Structure 1
Amino acid sequence: MQSLDLKDLKIAIVGAGYGGAAAAKALSLLGADVTVYEQAGRIREVGAGIGLRPATMNRFRQWGIHDAIAQVSSPSAYFEILTPTGAPILKESWPADGEQTRTHLIHRGDFIEALLGALPEGMVRLGHRLEGVEDKGDGAVLTFADGTTAEADLVIGADGIKSVVRQQLFSDQAPVFSGEHAYRAVISVADAHGMVTDDNLRMYIGRGTKVYLLPLRHRDQVSFDITALHPDGTWTPQVTKEDMLRTVEGFDERLVDITRGLDMGTVNIRAVYDIDPIDTWHSDSVVLIGDAAHSMLHHQGQGANSAIEDAGALADALSRAGHLKEGLAEYQAIRKPVTDKLQAVSRQGWTEDEIDEVFPGQTPETTETPDIPASAATKE
């Protein structure tokens, strides 16, 4: 399939998150007829800050939206891993593609707003909750909760970790609980007790707890994240301020003070899940991208970046292919080995046992600098 043929391809994308919006942009630039179906009645991205890698930023440059992303993000030079009380463990430069393309830190809401703002008006249709998908071989049919249907030559499932598309066509395995909770909030730099003075990510690690400070200084804020061991796998668990304070006992008092000062009404609380790798991402007329294909834990900070790379790789593969299924197979062959590895590495988070391996028989505050993989510090 040459790129000219894409102008005759009708594509339905399920989900208007990072991967869905990026795929819509990339494929529409190639001339495809794209419609995005999103279950939410309005787009409201909760959460906190993420890091966008150079490969992701280069995709945005290719699609003509780099400047829009750069305007609502901050370039970052390095990240640090520290002990709970702030002693240095590791400091490493972020990946960069020369001076032109740097790693950028961005708020999730600004990110999705910029992505969706780059799409033509009317391409995204809100209030469409998917109930069923059927691959007919030469096309696919979507059925929505309101009884309406949509037909397309290609359906792209970008509907996240609880993907209906994945569960109906590719794998009915349930998401896997990591044994952790994530507590996330965005606070003002003024409320960070002097801990944010530059644009560099810092992660403080203790036994069973990681605390991230990700600056968003372009909006005078900081993303504050506690990831802590917890046995409760409820998707949105009930957690009190006292529960959160217990996770940061022994940490720098300023981190404790930040936690104590949080408005619980603004804290996003969730149990942390991923999925096991699945064997196949596509059928004749349906394909998965992003979390629907390979949801992973956030320890590598690769979820959003992987979704963007999926979108770019899918568009590239379809533009080169002789026919649709050939392009889908090439896309899977390129991306699945990469994301399988990232899923596995992301599961190597800092549990108490793994802390003991790094700091045998001692607390992090009293040990010398261990050999910690740099990938442990990256943050989504």
Structure 2
Amino acid sequence: MNTSDLKNVNVAIVGAGYGGAAAAKALSLLGANVSVYEQATQTGEVGAGIGLRPATMHRFRQWGIFDAIAEVSSPSDYFEILSATGDPIMKDTWPEFGEETKTYLIHRGDFIHALLGVLPEGMVHLGHKLETVEDKGDHSVLTFVGGETVEADLVVGADGIKSVVRKQLFSDKGPVFSGEHAYRAVISSDDAYGMVVDDNLRMYIGKGTKVYLLPLRHRNQMSFDITALCPDSTWAPKITKDDLLKTVEGFDERIVNIARNLDMDTVNVRAVYDIDPVDTWHSDSVVLLGDAAHSMLHHQGQGANSAIEDAGALADALAQAGSVKDALASYQATRKPVTDELQRISRQGWTEDELNDVFPGQKPRAQQEA
């Protein structure tokens, strides 16, 4: 679509997370009239650290926001996988993308703050919880709790794993429990027992447990993440310090000490879910993006990165296609094969022995198709 056509396209993005904010930036640069609707009454992101891959950072350069992200992150040269006791298993550089060779390690809160900070004032509307979306072919109507309605030529459903847009228009299947819990905390580097030595991600693998150490040296902090097999599917489970320590039995004593010293009130605890692949992501005027389209397990570190790549691919498709309808078809054709494969690989995080220990004679649903 040419610039004059795009200037007449009204875009409503549902969700102001990574994918929604990135899509807002990319589509506004094309000249579209973009508004973002977020159900939260204030912006922010709980959790810990993530790695922004070279392809993601390439998009940020393309959109002119690289410096805003780099300012609150640390460039990493490689990642390392070790046994529970620290024996080397694998060490590799990050996959290069053109001139980009580094992955940037960033706190989730800093990331979303930086993304929202590069959007024009007034573009993001807080306190808008989506109630219904009506697809009328060449346009759609959003109705929010409280009765406010919005019409748009293009609706982007970037509303996460529990997406209202996906459920109402594309798939009524709910999130799938993976059989895992994730425990995440951010600690001072001074409390990391000397394990923050550079800007590179390290993963320690024990039986039924993985520990991720992601340095945030620009903050003098480290993201300390434990993923452990567990049959409790409660969305926000309650665990004790003893429960936490059991997951790291036999690990490097420094890791055990970090876990022992955690303030449980600062630990983000959740059961881990993804979704089964969604057959169709779009109609003529509505499209899914990020976790709403392909929420995946975190083993490959591709959740946020895939959302950014979706936003870039959607913008590319709109710039190149002759209509919104054609652009959405092109976008799905480009991105869905990639994310389907990432979802599949991400479900292969555990051995048969590990799964049988926790789920005798069966697999969690998320592992059944792996």
Query: Under TM normalisation by the shorter chain, which class is it?
Result: over 0.9
Secondary structure, aligned partner of 2:21: helix
Q: 1:292 to 1:198 in 2, by over 3 A?
A: same
Cα gap change, 1:92/1:231 in structure 2, threshold over 3 Å: closer, same or farther? same
Asked if 1:152 is matched to 2:152, the reply is yes
Counterpart of 1:334 in 2: which secondary structure?
A: helix
Superposition TM-score, scaled by structure 1 size: 0.92
Aligned match of 1:371: none
Q: Match of 2:110?
A: 110
Q: Which residue of 1 aligns with 2:37?
A: 37
For residues 258-297 of structure 1, what are the structure 2 equivalents within 5 Å?
A: 258-297=258-297
Residues 68/228 of structure 1: CA separation in 2 closer, same or farther (3 Å cut): same
- Say whether 1:340 aligns with 2:340: yes
Amino acid at match of 2:288: L
Name the structure 2 match of 1:183.
Answer: 183
- Identity over aligned pairs, percent: 78
- For residue 101 of structure 1, report the CA deviation from its aligned partner: 4.6
* Matches of 1:317 and 1:287, distance apart in 2: 12
CA RMSD in angstroms, aligned pairs only? 1.3
Residue of structure 2 equivalent to 1:361: none
Q: Give the whole-Å Cα distance in 2 for the aligned partners of 1:355 and 1:254.
A: 27
CA deviations over 1:304-333 (Å, ceiling 9, x no partner) = 000000000001001111111100000000
Matched residue, 2:20: 20
Within-5 A mapping of 1:1-380: 1-97=1-97, 101-351=101-351, 353=353
- Do 2:155 and 2:285's aligned partners in 1 also have CA atoms closer than 8 Å? yes
Deviation at 1:138?
1.5
Shift of 1:97: 3.9
Aligned residues: 356
Rounded to whole Å, the distance in 1 between the matches of 2:308 and 2:97 is 17
**Following TM superposition, by how much is the alpha carbon of 1:102 offset from its aligned partner in structure 2, in angstroms?**
1.7
How far 1:353 sits from its partner (Å)? Answer: 2.5
What CA deviation, in whole Å up to 9, does each residue of 1:3-61 have, x standing for no partner?
Answer: 33110000000000000000000000110000000000001200111111111001000
Matched residues in 1 for 2:24 and 2:101: separation? 23
Kindly provide the amino acid, as one letter, of the partner of residue 67 in structure 2.
Answer: D
Q: Secondary structure at the match of 1:96?
A: coil
Q: Secondary structure at the match of 1:271?
A: strand
C-alpha displacement at 1:98, in angstroms?
6.3
Counterpart for residue 364 of structure 1: none
1:109-134 Cα distance to aligned partner (Å, 9 max, x none): 11101100000000000000011101
Distance 1:354 1:189 in 2: 32
Change (3 A) 1:355 1:134: closer
Following the alignment from structure 1 to structure 2, what is the Cα–Cα distance between the partners of residues 99 and 119? 26
Shift in alpha-carbon separation, 1:355–1:137, aligned structure 2, 3 A: closer
- Tell me, in whole angstroms, the C-alpha distance in 1 between the residues paired with 2:19 and 2:279: 20
AA at the equivalent of 2:123? M
Measured against aligned partners, the alpha-carbon deviations of 1:197-236 in whole angstroms (never above 9, x if no partner) come to: 1111111101100000000001100000000000011110
Counterparts of 2:151 and 2:240, CA distance in 1: 46
Kindly provide the amino acid, as one letter, of the partner of residue 247 in structure 1.
T
CA distance in 1 between partners of 2:74 and 2:44 (Å): 22
Whichever residue aligns with residue 306 of structure 1, its letter is S
Cα deviation for residue 95 of structure 1 reads: 2.0
In structure 2, distance between residues paired with 1:265 and 1:339:
34
Partner of 1:353, secondary structure, is helix
Instruction: State how far apart, in whole Å, the 2-side matches of 1:249 and 1:327 are.
Output: 51
- Conservation of the 8 A alpha-carbon contact between 1:57 and 1:101: no
Letter in 1 for 2:309: E
Q: Partner amino acid for 1:31?
A: G
Q: Is the 8 A contact 1:15 1:37 kept in 2?
A: yes
Q: How far apart, CA to CA, are the structure 1 residues paired with 2:322 and 2:58? A: 26
Give distance in 2, aligned partners of 1:225 and 1:301.
12
- 5+ unaligned residues in a row in structure 1: which ranges? 357-380
Aligned counterparts of 1:99 and 1:168: Cα–Cα separation in 2: 41
Query: 1:283 corresponds to which letter in structure 2?
Result: S
